[in-house]
């Protein structure tokens, strides 16, 4: 009997232990389910529901989710975070406005210049057409012709509007006056040569004959007195040569030329050249200049035809200065430009228009593992709490 009683006690003890174990397991399972579900629900309630839910006019509590409900505040805060900590002027300076970036920009710009401009077969006319300028050769010819005519008429009016002395440069006038003795010597020398020549002799003979014949009987008597007309011609020639060689003749000619030169200087230019074919000269000059200008052919050449050293010149003198100026101005205006861009407002507007479902997928896609660990941790803590509760319940029942 004693043995049976002890065996019964042992069986009862086993049953109590088994009940205790089942209580612990049950409480742990319940706690784990509650903890895991609670954390999972809390994570879901960050985004869901996307909109407020109503029963009649009564809004269901905790709707919409935390992030949709605080969307405006999130957008504002995110915009401030971006402008204050992410896209700051210092960030742009460190990333963009560096010597390395300047060198790369200079290299890029220069390479494009050389490829698209200096090594291009595109003609100047084609470049102008790209800029919206067409038929420039015709326009230039018309403008040039108009300019030539205007300048020609201005010069013509300037020439014809005064006297010779007013229009001819003073240096030229003085130079011409110094040549009067030379002209006098030349005239007398040529006159002396003519008197000695056969043509001069024939001329004197004809003049004497005509003169004597015009005097009738008196002329015949003079001719008989001198005998042969050749001797009279020779005498006239000798006297003419003496006259030409006389010093007074030189002075006479110089005086006459000086007086005529003085009169010539006082004469209006229009009297001297007024009958000149100015229209013909204008047409000839215009035709010649337009032919020499040859605008169509000159515009049909590429840039490197006229500027073969353009690439080297720009690489040394233009591109580095342009890039330096651009980077300097960018650094000076960077802060103001970012303020004018109002990045915080842009971020806010984008967040406001961003679908909550897409934002949810984005956040969950990034933090999926962490959220799972939070759910597991909730289940683990819930299980541990369940075990503690089970122990408390067990010992409470015993007492």
This prediction's pTM: 0.53
Rounded CA-CA distance 158/250 in Å is 37
* pLDDT of res. 97: 83
User: Phi-psi bin for 216: left (phi > 0), alpha (psi -120 to 50), beta?
Assistant: left
Residue position matching structure tokens 């200049």: 289
Tokens found for residue 285: 């000059």
* pLDDT of res. 89: 79
Question: Along the chain (399 residues), what's the average pLDDT of each consecutive run of 10 residues?
Answer: 59 69 80 83 75 73 70 76 78 83 92 89 87 85 90 85 81 85 87 82 73 56 53 74 83 87 84 79 89 88 89 91 90 81 78 72 72 82 82 70
* pLDDT of res. 96: 81
* pLDDT of res. 249: 83
* pLDDT of res. 111: 93
Query: Where do runs of H (alpha helix) occur along 114-197?
Result: 124-130, 136-160, 164-167, 170-178, 180-196
Rounded CA-CA distance 255/180 in Å is 9
For the chain, the first-to-last Cα distance in angstroms comes to 29
Residues β-bridged to residue 141 = none
Residues β-bridged to residue 123 = 302
Residue position matching structure tokens 């009297």: 271
Tokens found for residue 264: 């010539």
Rounded CA-CA distance 344/237 in Å is 117
* pLDDT of res. 162: 80
Cβ-defined contacts of 166-170 (< 8 Å, 24+): 167/269, 168/265
Tokens found for residue 249: 């003749």
């Amino acid at each position: 009997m004693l043995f049976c009683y002890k065996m019964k006690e042992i069986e009862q003890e086993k049953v109590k232990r088994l009940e205790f174990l089942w209580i612990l397991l049950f409480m742990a399972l319940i706690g784990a389910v509650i903890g895991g579900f609670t954390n999972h629900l809390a994570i879901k309630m960050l985004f869901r529901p996307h909109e407020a839910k109503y029963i009649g006019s009564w809004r269901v509590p905790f709707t919409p989710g935390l992030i949709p409900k605080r969307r405006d505040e999130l957008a504002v805060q995110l915009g401030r975070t971006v402008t204050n900590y992410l896209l700051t002027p210092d960030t742009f300076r460190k990333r963009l406005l560096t010597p390395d970036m300047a060198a790369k920009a200079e290299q890029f710009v220069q390479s494009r210049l050389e490829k698209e401009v200096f090594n291009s077969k595109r003609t100047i006319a084609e470049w102008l057409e790209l800029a919206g300028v067409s038929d420039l050769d015709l326009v230039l010819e018309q403008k040039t012709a108009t300019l030539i005519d205007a300048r020609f008429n201005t010069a013509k009016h300037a020439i014809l509007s005064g006297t010779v002395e007013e229009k001819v440069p003073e240096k030229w006038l003085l130079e011409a006056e110094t040549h009067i003795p030379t002209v006098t010597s030349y005239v007398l020398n040529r006159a002396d040569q003519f008197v000695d020549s056969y043509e001069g002799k024939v001329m004197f003979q004809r003049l004497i004959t005509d003169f004597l014949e015009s005097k009738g009987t008196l002329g015949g008597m003079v001719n008989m007195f001198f005998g042969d007309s050749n001797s009279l011609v020779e005498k006239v020639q000798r006297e003419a040569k003496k006259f030409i060689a006389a010093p007074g003749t030189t002075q006479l000619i110089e005086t006459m030329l000086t007086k005529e030169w003085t009169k010539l200087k006082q004469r209006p230019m229009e009297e001297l050249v007024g009958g000149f074919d100015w229209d013909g000269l204008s047409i000839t000059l215009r035709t010649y200049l337009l032919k020499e200008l040859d605008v169509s052919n000159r515009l049909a050449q590429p840039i490197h035809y006229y500027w073969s050293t353009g690439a080297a010149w720009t690489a040394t003198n233009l591109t580095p200065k342009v890039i330096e100026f651009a980077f300097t101005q960018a650094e000076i205006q960077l802060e103001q430009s970012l303020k004018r861009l109002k990045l915080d407002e842009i971020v806010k507007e984008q967040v406001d228009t961003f679908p909550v479902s897409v934002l949810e997928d984005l956040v969950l896609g990034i933090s999926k593992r962490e959220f799972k660990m939070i759910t597991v941790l909730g289940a683990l803590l819930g299980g541990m709490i369940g075990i503690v509760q089970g122990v408390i319940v067990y010992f409470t029942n015993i007492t």
